[in-house]
Structure 1
Amino acid sequence: MGLAHVGVSIFSCRLYQMIDLRRALAVLATRLLWASIEAALAHILAHRPRPTKRVASMVLAGAFDGDFGGGISQAGHARRCG
């Protein structure tokens, strides 16, 4: 059963309140050296420039001719407000 049967919304709880910290994966996660793992994977997960792709097609709204991609992805970066 999920949390809905007890009248708890997943949007009103913090993640740490929904996880049983005694479970094996939760215990393992507290024992891992996350800084070392991130440092070892940083070069693989780095945001790298991608080539631009030229696209020309017909869509319901009419013809489209433009460029997609290119540059460095902003995925995973903190959003700037204001």
Structure 2
Amino acid sequence: MRDFIVMNFLFGDAARMPGHADSLLESGLVDSTGVLEIVDFLETDMGIVVADDETLPTNLDSVDNLTDFVLRKRSTASVA
């Protein structure tokens, strides 16, 4: 997650990366278009489906939230 954000939103400048629990939206790093890019990355590269009702800050607004979301989705998919 961190690498994706550094490469796609910070253009490789890892020194500007907010803390893992910091809001990507509040920091101004990600906007609404950026959220769509994150969802595309999750679906394309991470192999999970993000439903419209899952595009919430609690799932997508920090590295920690993104990581937890992916882990939850993967564990749910393996049970199904």
TM-score range, shorter chain: under 0.3
Larger radius of gyration: 1
By relative contact order (CA 8 Å, sep 6+), the higher-ranking structure is 2
Query: What is the TM-score of this pair, normalised by structure 2?
Result: 0.17
* TM-score in terms of structure 1 length: 0.17
| Higher relative strand content | 1
